Amino acid sequence: MRQYKAHGQMKRAWQPAVAVAGISLVLGVGRAEAQTVDITKRGTTPDSALLTPTIIDAGRKIFHGRGSCYACHGDKLLGGPIAPALVGPTWRHIDGSFNAILNRIENGLAGTVMMPHPGRITESQVFMVATYVWAVSHGRATP
């Protein structure tokens, strides 16, 4: 009986994700948490719905885990023999805006080892890891 109730609560927690305008994406960041983001919002800075400690933490895990970003860009995002630093303010080929970071992770850069969706991360994981990179490079989070 108690378990059944807990399950009901979890289902309700996911429901608000449905009622959002635009093209939205449910960012699953834990069993009972979901964050919905309009993926058409690609500004210079991440949408405020993304810029939360929960999303940044999730992005950090992707960077050091499934995305394998750390292997080329370094544990502290300081770069290495293979890839450039991701801490700004200067960048190799992008302007450091959220939109540019996002595009590079989505599309990679042809002719380099920067692949689209490194580690085969999902679109929602691209958004989370891009938010993390933006936050670190703009002094909003630690690596």
**What does the binding site for ligand HEC look like in residue numbers (CB under 6 A)?**
67-69, 71-73, 82-84, 86, 91-94, 101, 104-105, 109, 112-114, 118, 121, 129, 133
Which one, of 113, 81, 82, 107, lies nearest residue 94 by Cα? Answer: 107
User: Residue 53 or 81: which CB sits closer to ligand HEC?
Assistant: 81
> What does each C-alpha distance from 88 to 16, 92, 94, 119, 135 come to in angstroms?
36, 9, 10, 23, 11
Measured distance CA(139)–CA(22) in Å, rounded? 30
User: Residue 7 or 93: which CB sits closer to ligand HEC?
Assistant: 93
CB of 8 to ligand HEC, least distance (A): 36
User: Residue 10 or 113: which CB sits closer to ligand HEC?
Assistant: 113
Neighbours of 74 (CB within 10 A): 19
CB of 90 to ligand HEC, least distance (A): 8
